[in-house]
Amino acid sequence: LSSGKKIHGYVIRNEIELTVFTGTALIDLYGKTGCLRNAVNVFDQMVVKEVCTWNAMITTLASNGREMEALDMFEKMKMTGQHPNEVTFVAVLTACARGKFVELGLKLFQSMRREFGIVAIMEHYGCVVDLLGRAGLLKEATDFIRSMPFEPDGSVLGALFGACKIHGAIELGTVVG
């Protein structure tokens, strides 16, 4: 964080325009270290924003307890004409899981292919299992895993296992383990 702030300070002192690369890296740095205000300031100062910039900001909001703001940012992103990608959907599905927005999360998951032509990968499926699991919908999460077009990996099963732990589903947790 200290080194990142020094670099950011250098950019400001030398009146260097925040490029997509530098700005996105700073948003990511500030987001991962919990400096939400700094991340938002960098985002707002950027003149040019690419999908990676939006993804970094959505992820930052989602991982810092601002799930609804992350989803609002996703809507703003679409309104600017940016096309969401695989990373965008990991971020918005994570926001839905953390905010327990089950219906919206499932709707977004379905929209990936239908509206944006994005084929869901293991990480997206893991996000949906996390979404259902956090909401206590363990049967639905289990059924969702069974419906996947490929075998679940450790991250998907780990999401279900974590939900079993949270909700005291010892039998299912044993099976998953």
Higher pLDDT: 98 or 12? It is 98
Q: What is the pLDDT of residue 65?
A: 95
Question: What is the average pLDDT score of the chain?
Answer: 94
Interatomic CA distance for residues 100 and 62, integer angstroms: 12
How much of the chain exceeds pLDDT 70, in percent? 100
| Local confidence band at 85 (pLDDT 50, 70, 90 cut-offs) | very high
Contacts of 51 (CB under 8 A, 6+ apart): 77, 82, 83, 84, 85, 87, 88
Per DSSP, helices labelled H in 46-81 are 51-63, 67-79
If one compares 14 and 73, the residue with the highest pLDDT of the two is 73
User: In this predicted model, what pLDDT tens digit does every residue of 32-49 receive, in sequence order?
Assistant: 999 999 999 999 999 999
Q: Report how far residue 70's alpha carbon sits from residue 91's, in angstroms, rounded to the nearest whole number.
A: 8
Comparing 4-13, 133-142, 157-166, the range with the smallest average pLDDT is 4-13
Residue 142 near residue 172 (C-beta atoms within 8 A):
yes
